[in-house]
Chains A and B, each alone.
Chain A
Amino acid sequence: MKWIRDRLASFAERTACIEAGREWSYGDFLALMDQAATQLPDGKGKLIEVPCEPTIVALATLFAIAESSHIALPFPVEIPSAERERRQAVAANSPLYTKLKGSGLVLFSSGSSGQPKGMLHDFGALLNRYQNLKAREDPSLLLLLVDHIGGLDSAFRCLFSGSTLIIPEARKPDAVGRAIEQHRVTVLPASPTFLNLMLLAQLPEKYDLSSVRIVAYGAEAMPEPVLQRLGEVFPSAQLQQKFGTSETGTVRIKSAGDRSLFFRIVDSDTEWKVVDRELWLKTPSRILGYIGADMHPLEKDGWFRTGDLVECGGQGELRIIGRIHDVINVGGQKVHPHEVAQILQTLPDVDAVHVYGQDDPLTGSRVCARIYTSSTISSLAWKRLIRGHCRGKLAPWKIPSRITVDREPNVTARLKHSVC
C-alpha cells in the first residue's frame, strides 16, 4: 500500500480539503495520517471505529488503517446509540476476519429485515482501483459521509487525483449552494433525490452555480424529468451517471449520451451479465462476505447479484429501472414502481413522487404513491386527478390506490427517498 503515501505526497502543496473554514494541504493530510498511525494498536486484525466527522480526520485515519493490518469501521457521529451498539455487536466478531491478508473495511447497510448488515472489504483491493487516476485540480463537493461507498468513492477519486474536497457546513440544499458559490466547485456528486431537492429549493436563483462542470449522480434511479430540469439549470455541465454497489465498489461506466439514462460498463476490471433482468457483476474488489446476513447474493464463483433491475438497450447499453425487491406484486401482477412514478411525474405541479408497495389483505400488496407538491389542492382532489391521469396509461392494478400528499420531501440520511 506504499503507493497511497507516494501519490498523496506528490500533491504536497495543493489543497486536499476545505472543511469548517480551514484549508488542509496534502502535506497537512499526510501529517494527520502519521498522527493517526501512532494511535493504532499493536498487532493485527483489531476492529477500529472511525467517527465520520471531521471528514478530513476520518479519511486520514482510514488511510492509516489501510496501511496497517487492522479493520476500519466508519460510523456517522449522529447515529443513535442503540443503532451504534447493534452495529458494534454485529461487527465485533466474524469468522470472515481470518480471510483478510492485510487491512479490512466494514461498511453497514440496513438489511431487508431491518437488521444491520455488515460488509467486509479487503481494504487494499478496494483502494487499488484508484491507483491510476489522472491528476486534476477540481474542487469537488462531498455530500455523503465516508461510511458509505458513494461518499468513499467521491473522496478517494478526489484525493488520489490531487483535487480539493469541499465539505459543506451541512448536508442541506442551501449549505450546498453556498459552498458551490464560495469555493467555485466544479464537481457535484449527488443522489437524484438531493439534486431534486436543490431544484425545489430554487438554488440556481439564489446562488452562482456556474462553476459546476460535472454533475455526477447515482445511488438510485434518476427520474427523467429531473434529468431534463438539471440539463436546463446546468446547461454547460456534463451530467454523468455513476454506478456502484457497496459490495463491489464503483464500476466505471459511460453514459450513452449527456441526457440519456442508458450507460455502458467500460471497466476493464469488471465483468457483467444480466440474469432474469437482474444485473450481475464480477470485480476484484468484491466484498469478502456479509457479517450478520446471509451470503446468497454472493455467488461462489465471484459473481455478485446486485438486485438492480435493468433494461437492456441495443448494443450492450443498460439502464437501471429499480430494485428487484421493490417490485410490487398486486394479486400476482408485477408492478415496477419506476414505471408508475414516470407517469405521475408528468402531472403538472408534481415536484417529486415516490411509489412503493404496502401489504394488502385482499391483493397481497397494493400500489401507494407519495406526492410532493407545493399545490394546495386537497388529497381527495389529487387522488381523482391521478386516477384520471393514469387511466388508459397504466393497467388498473398499477394505478395507486393510496395517495399521500406532502409539502416537503422526506429524505434519508443517505439522501435517497424515504418511504414514510
Chain B
Amino acid sequence: MPDRQAVETLILDSVKMLAEDFDLETLKQPTPELALYGEDGALDSMALVNLIADIEDALSERYALSIALADEKAMSAKNSPYRNVQSLTDAVMERLPA
C-alpha cells in the first residue's frame, strides 16, 4: 500500500504527464499547492477528467488499486478534492482500502 508521500509523487507525475501531453505550460512543473481546478485553477473540466483517469490508471498499474476519484462523494464534498495536488492526495488516501 502506498504512503502519503508516494501518492503525492504519483499525482505530481500524472500532472506533469498531462501537462506535457496537452501542452499546459503552467502545469509543467507542478507543486503540491498549485491550483488545479476551480478558482485560479489551470485545468478545464475536460482536462480534469483526463487527469483523474490518469491518476486512477497509475494507481492501478503501480499498486493494483482500483480507486474511483470522480464519485458521488467527491462531487458532494464541501471542499472540492480537485483544488490542488494536496487535496487530491487527501482524496486518494481516504479511499485506500483499510
Contact = CB atoms under 8 A, between A and B. Distances in A.
Interface of A: 330-331, 360-363, 366, 379-380, 383-384, 387-388, 391, 396-397, 399, 401-402
B22 A387 contact: yes
B5 interface: no
Interface of B: 17, 21-23, 45-50, 52-54, 57-58, 61, 70-72, 74-75
What is the predominant secondary structure among interface residues of chain A facing chain B? mixed
What is the predominant secondary structure among interface residues of chain B facing chain A? helix
Contacts, number: 46
Contact of A362 (B21, B49, B57, B61): B49
Contacts of A391: 21-23
A419 B71 CA distance: 22
A384 B45 contact: no
A362 B72 contact: no
Contact of B46 (A380, A383, A384, A396): A396
Contacts of B61: 379-380
Give the most central of B23, B47, B53, B71: most A CB within 10 Å: B53
A363 B47 CA distance: 11
Given A361-B75, A379-B57, A380-B57, A397 B17 contact: no
A362 B81 CA distance: 13
Given A384-B21, A388-B21, A391-B22, A363 B57 contact: no
B21 A363 contact: no
Contacts of B22: 387, 391, 396
A330 B72 CA distance: 18
A361 B70 contact: yes
Contacts of A331: 45-46
